[in-house]
Copies of this chain bind each other. A is one copy, B any other.
Amino acid sequence: MDTPLSWRERLYVVVFQTDTVAGRRFDSLLLLIILASLITVVLDSIDEVHQNYAGLLAGIEWGFTAIFLAEYVVRLYCSPKPLRYAFSFYGLVDLLAIVPGIIALYYSDAQYLLIIRVIRMLRIFRVLKLSPYLKQAHYLLAALRGSKQKIIVFLVSVSTLVTVFGTLMYVVEGPEHGFTSIPKGIYWAIVTLTTVGFGDIVPKTPLGQVISSMVMITGYSIIAVPTGIFTAELANAMRGEQLQHDCPVCRKNNHEHGAAFCSRCGNALFKKME
């Protein structure tokens, strides 16, 4: 009774890990299949393609859903802790990649939910040499986490600004110039403040253009704020700043980068050889 277990273990190594050649090949193949299934969904949304190949594409999508279903069952089977996998981030995403394909049999619009498979593409970092990317992602996340509160302050200020300016423009320009309601005004303010500037709604009155100019210059200037926050935090995260060294006298263990003497007890941190 040792063989089936060992089978499961071998499967586990191939399906869940990327250290072995077989494991890496499996993940590469899986990525290709995911990509192909995404392309199928995208192609099916183009009108000319849909009219000519609707049946064919539906069949292919079915095939991919079947493959992913099989993969999901295998993962559940060979995982040592199936429940833990099923409720992990990847487990849920893997499930979500199958469900819409089955729903689509009854309600055809559900197929667009298949695009959720794009999240499975994040596995790509497992196929590329993993660790350096993880370290970089870690820096980025550390910088984002460190700036979380500053970013909330920033977003709350921007929301306030956008609400006030949007209402102002609604009052000044009015429905005859496209500002048909306050939400529309707020939408316009976001379009303008972020410097996107679609041009679907534009100010027509001189006063409206003066207010717009203020919104634009504000938006142009305060983009400096998230950039500044993030850059400062990232530089911090990357520098790792302090000197880790026990003071031989008072045991203070972190010091300024260039410290020669302990700032607590004043003794030399390093013996000078003579």
**Contact: A238 with B236, CB < 8 Å?**
yes
A204 to chain B, nearest CB (A): 9
Known: A153-B136, A266-B268. A183 touches B273 (CB 8 A): no
In chain A, residues 248-268, which have Cβ atoms closer than 8 Å to a Cβ of chain B?
249-252, 255-268
B182 to A194, Cβ gap below 8 A? no
Cβ of A17 within 8 Å of any chain B Cβ, yes or no, is no
Q: In the complex, what's the smallest C-beta–C-beta distance from A72 to chain B, in angstroms?
A: 21
Interface readout for A154-187 with B: 1 if CB under 8 Å, 0 if not? 1110101001100100110001000011111011
User: How far in angstroms is the closest Cβ of chain B from A250?
Assistant: 4
Q: What is the interface residue range for chain A against chain B?
A: 35 or more
Cβ of A230 under 8 Å from chain B: yes
How many monomers of this chain does the complex have?
4
Residue of B193, B206, B273 touching A267 (CB-CB under 8 A): B273
Distance A231 CA – B190 CA, assembled complex (angstroms): 24
Interface hub of A45, A125, A224, A262 (most chain B Cβ within 10 A): A224
Query: A137: which of B153, B250, B252 is its contact (CB, 8 Å)?
Result: B153
The answer, yes or no, to whether A95 is at the interface (CB within 8 Å) is: no
Give the one of A139, A160, A198 with max B CB within 10 A: A198
Known: A156-B124, A191-B216, A220-B194. A269 touches B259 (CB 8 A): no
Cα distance A152–B261 when bound, in Å?
38
Assess whether A200 is interfacial by the CB under 8 Å rule.
yes
B227 to A250, Cβ gap below 8 A? no
10 other contacts beyond A115-B167, A263-B263, with CB at 8 A cut-off?
Answer: A46-B180, A46-B181, A118-B163, A133-B153, A140-B150, A194-B220, A228-B231, A265-B271, A267-B270, A267-B273
